[in-house]
Amino acid sequence: MRPRGSVSGPVIIILIGIVFLIHALHPELRILDFVAVYWPYLLIVWGVLAFLEVTLRFLRGSTIPVNGISSGSWVVIVVISLAGASLFEIHQPGHWWSNTDWGRGFNEAFLGDDHEYSIELVQKTVGAGPHIILENFRGDAKVTGIDGNQVSLSGHKSIRSVETSEAERANQQTPVEMTVRGNTVTIRCHQDQAGARAIVTSNLELSVPKGASLEATGTAGDFDISSLAGDVDLSSANAGVHLDDIGGNVKVDTRQSDIVRCTNVKGTVELRGHGTDVEVTKADREVNINGDYSGTVSLRELAKPVRVENLRTILNVESVPGEIRLDRGSLNAENIVGPVKLTAHSTDVSIDGWQNGLNLALDRGDIDLRPGHLPLANMVVRTRSGNIELALPETAKFQVTASTDHGDIDNEFGDSLKEQTSGSGARLEGSIGSGPDVSLTTERGSITLRKSSESKTGFPPAGTDVTATRTQVAELAAVAK
Amino acid sequence: MNSRTALYAQAIRGPVLLITAGVLFAMQQSGAVPLRQTWPLFIIVIGVMKLVERLASPRQPYPPAGGSAQ
């Protein structure tokens, strides 16, 4: 008689089929959610079945298979493990997967059953300028400064688990606590006390005295902070950060973020880490951005020196009455105060209106410069590959040295500037009146020196009121049109 | 100690490993002990199973050519 094959393989296949059948017939049972958490037991059941099968055969004296689990079954096991582990991963909140539209839809359809609980209001009286510490937590936090000397905390918890009883238990295990010791207020969410089967997200709403300072660390969730007079120090593995009206220094460190937005900051701004977009508007003191942001870095109305540094770009300016937009591959600036210093790899640069010196060094990229006002200052512009276009007011006085190794030079300022071609390159030298040095160098590309249509000298000197300057820029733009 | 025991010891190796893997994964997911701390257990179980097989096999490490295993 032919020896019978293993029965445990078919049994497991039947089980998997049943799981999907249940899902298809009753999607509300969230069977996949169950599977995401309990799939390892399938391996155990399979192992026990195969073990019993071999043992039975051994005891009955029938043929023992060479391997208790065939190589084909091992392939299925590896597939189950990979699928199970991924299902478990994406079932966690805050995972990148659930931040994508597709992933969110998938999770809503197949995984996660959120149970909502409210966090009871806690109010405590503290000083006028307390130091608030929010300890490592997952969830959104909204912190608002208000008059008075009370800290009040409320919010809600969202607990994801397969069973309601599990969520209930997790809710008991993760009370939100506020302790006051001297001037320090510490808020703890105790999320690590719930096991991995219930995932707790605590969304907090805090109102604190206006004079408060804040220190918060989070794993995932957004920070929305407004009207605080003290320092704000945030660090998060994954967060959107919105800061508005901060009196002290701001420090934000993100490992991942969709946006970091700071508006109206009286102290210094320091942003570090990784993220997508950055927006800093109206800052009264130094702004330091040191990190890898893949989206747009947008800077507006900054009164003191600004430094942006990442792997590809280093930018220094003395202040930004207008605006700077730094995207991957391009930099656009309008009305800035130098000395401006920019070093970048592949970036197209366009600067419209700046004061004081300019030092620009690119690896590759086109450069489009319109100083916009007089008198000019020293300009050193270099790119290894790219075109340079400089538009100067008709009445500008300067001394130019322009050279390209491969390309043409186009000069609108007449014969007082001497042009000579050599090989495939060209060189332009000379001066118009007596003015600062303008040096333009490209190794490959054309250089254009042209007269700008309007010759405005209307930019106010550095240090004038920022808003006034902004209106003037708007007026100038209107005139230009 | 006959070769039937040896065959049995060899046949249960797969199921035992599978049970071990299942237990380690389950422990990881319940949040008790992460897999990165427990994976060496897997190697230890493989070693133990090999040892059991060796002990269960007949005391004839190099059977003569053409000799019967029985």
Residue A472 has pLDDT above 60, yes or no: no
Query: A320 lies in a domain?
Result: yes
Average pLDDT, chain A: 84
Q: How high is the pLDDT of residue B50?
A: 86
Taking the CA of residue B16 and the nearest CA in chain A, the distance in Å comes to 6
Q: How high is the pLDDT of residue A404?
A: 92
Residue A101, domain extent: 8-110
pLDDT top residue among A455 and A182: A182
Q: What is the pTM of this model?
A: 0.65
Q: Residue B15: list chain A partners with CB under 8 A.
A: 47-51, 54, 68-69
Q: Is A282 left (phi over 0), alpha (psi -120 to 50) or beta?
A: left
Segment A156-170 shows an average pLDDT of: 81
Cα A361 to its chain centre, rounded Å, is 26
Q: How high is the pLDDT of residue A310?
A: 86
Query: A400 lies in a domain?
Result: yes
Residues 6 or more apart whose Cβ sits within 8 Å of residue A412: A449, A450, A451
Q: Do β-strands A250-254 and A269-275 pair in parallel, antiparallel, or remain unpaired?
A: parallel
Cβ distance A50 to B29 less than 8 Å, yes or no, reads: no
Q: How high is the pLDDT of residue A161?
A: 74
Q: How high is the pLDDT of residue A193?
A: 80
Residue A462 has pLDDT above 50, yes or no: no
Q: Residue A39: list chain B partners with CB under 8 A.
A: 25
SS3 A95: coil
Q: Residue B26: list chain A partners with CB under 8 A.
A: 40-41, 44
Segment A177-203 shows an average pLDDT of: 84
pLDDT top residue among A244 and A167: A244
At residue A100 the predicted structure's pLDDT band, cuts being 50, 70 and 90, is low
Residue ending a domain, among A82, A110, A138, is: A110
Residue ending a domain, among A93, A110, A127, is: A110
Q: Residue A58: list chain B partners with CB under 8 A.
A: 4, 8, 11
pLDDT top residue among A106 and A404: A404
Cβ distance B31 to A51 less than 8 Å, yes or no, reads: no
Q: How high is the pLDDT of residue B31?
A: 67
pLDDT in tens, A313-362: 899 999 999 999 998 889 999 999 989 999 998 899 999 988 888 999 99
Residue A112 has pLDDT above 60, yes or no: no
Q: How high is the pLDDT of residue A455?
A: 43
Question: Is the CB of residue A417 less than 8 Å from the CB of residue A428?
Answer: yes
Give bridge partners of residue A275 from the DSSP assignment: A293
Q: Each residue of A136-175: b (16+ CB within 10 Å) or e?
A: ebbbbbbbbbeeebebebbbebbbbbbeeebbebbbeebe
Taking the CA of residue B64 and the nearest CA in chain A, the distance in Å comes to 22
pLDDT top residue among A302 and A465: A302
Question: Is the CB of residue A339 less than 8 Å from the CB of residue A360?
Answer: no
Question: Is the CB of residue A192 less than 8 Å from the CB of residue A114?
Answer: no
**Cα gap A173→A175, rounded to integer Å:** 6
Q: How high is the pLDDT of residue A93?
A: 58
Of the partner residues A50, A84, A85, the one whose CB lies closest to the CB of residue B14 = A50
Segment A453-467 shows an average pLDDT of: 46
Cβ distance A46 to B18 less than 8 Å, yes or no, reads: yes
At residue A8 the predicted structure's pLDDT band, cuts being 50, 70 and 90, is confident
Cβ distance A40 to B15 less than 8 Å, yes or no, reads: no
Q: How high is the pLDDT of residue B67?
A: 45
Residue A392 has pLDDT above 70, yes or no: yes
**Cα gap A32→A56, rounded to integer Å:** 33
**Cα gap A245→B63, rounded to integer Å:** 86
Residue A421 has pLDDT above 80, yes or no: yes
The DSSP code sequence of A115-142 is EEEEEEEEEEE--SS-EEEEEEEES-EE
Query: A222 lies in a domain?
Result: no
Cβ distance B15 to A64 less than 8 Å, yes or no, reads: no
Taking the CA of residue A47 and the nearest CA in chain B, the distance in Å comes to 4
Residue A104 has pLDDT above 60, yes or no: no
Residue A108 has pLDDT above 60, yes or no: no
pLDDT in tens, A431-458: 888 889 999 999 999 999 988 875 444 4
Cβ count within 10 A of residue A126? 21
pLDDT top residue among A94 and A394: A394
The DSSP code sequence of A223-282 is EEEEEESS-EEEEESS--EEEEEE-S-EEEEESS-SEEEEEEESS-EEEEEEESEEEEEE
Cβ distance B8 to A46 less than 8 Å, yes or no, reads: no
User: Whole-angstrom distance between the N-terminal and C-terminal Cα of chain B?
Assistant: 11
**Cα gap A160→A113, rounded to integer Å:** 5
Segment A175-180 shows an average pLDDT of: 89
pLDDT top residue among B37 and A208: A208
Choice among A268-272, A430-434, B15-19, B30-34 with the minimum mean pLDDT: B30-34
At residue A97 the predicted structure's pLDDT band, cuts being 50, 70 and 90, is low
Q: Which residues of B touch A (CB under 8 A)?
A: 4, 7-8, 10-26, 28-31
Torsion B23-B27-B33-B35 (CA) sign? positive
pLDDT top residue among A85 and B23: B23
- Total domains in chain A come to 2
- Cα dist. A135→A93, A170, A232, A234 in Å? 19, 18, 14, 11
Query: A158 lies in a domain?
Result: no
pLDDT in tens, A204-263: 999 999 999 999 988 888 899 999 999 999 998 888 899 999 999 999 999 888 899 999
Average pLDDT, chain B: 78
Q: Which residue has the tokens 């202040």?
A: A319
Query: A330 lies in a domain?
Result: yes
Q: Taking the domains of chain B in order of start, what are their residue ranges?
A: 3-56
Question: Is the CB of residue A98 less than 8 Å from the CB of residue A107?
Answer: yes
Give bridge partners of residue A241 from the DSSP assignment: A223, A260
Residue ending a domain, among A64, A82, A110, is: A110
Residue B67 tokens, joined:
């000799």
Residue pairs between chains A and B whose CB atoms are closer than 8 Å = 90
Segment B6-34 shows an average pLDDT of: 84
The top-scoring range by mean pLDDT among A66-70, A115-119, A457-461 is A115-119
